[in-house]
Amino acid sequence: MLALFFLIEAVTQVFWVEPPEALRELHRLVGHWVVWAWFLGGLLLLIAGWYVYDSLRKRREFRKLIDTASKQKMLRNRDRLEVLAFLLPRAYEIKLQNKMAELEVK
């Protein structure tokens, strides 16, 4: 959200010839720091995009590895599943514990 705010502020300050009064006050506050707002907005947007992509990739991998009825496959993938469960939200750790209890893996 902060990245979008910075980008919108920078774009409206540079390209909007006659902005509304509310934006004019914001433009006065930002002043000549508009270049930094643009840079920070872009950088934060890239970081947020990478975080979302990485999180979705890890969730997809977790679902793929945990979707098995074989105890042998569960044991083979146990280390990676534990790492993913640690990196993802707590609900994934609970899912892993439930699946291990279901397959009777110790």
Residue 17: the pLDDT is 67
Instruction: Give φ, ψ of 20 to 5 degrees.
Output: -65, 165
In a domain, 61, yes or no: no
- How much is the pTM? 0.72
Instruction: Give me the domain span that covers residue 95.
Output: 68-106
In a domain, 63, yes or no: no
Sign of CA pseudo-dihedral 30, 36, 41, 44: negative
Residue 55: the pLDDT is 97
In terms of domains, do 25 and 2 share one? yes
- For residues 84 and 65, the answer to whether their CB atoms sit within 8 Å is yes
In a domain, 79, yes or no: yes
pLDDT (tens, 9 = 90+) of the chain, 106 residues, equals 888 888 877 777 777 767 777 777 777 777 777 788 888 888 998 999 999 999 999 999 999 999 988 999 999 999 999 999 999 999 999 999 999 999 988 7
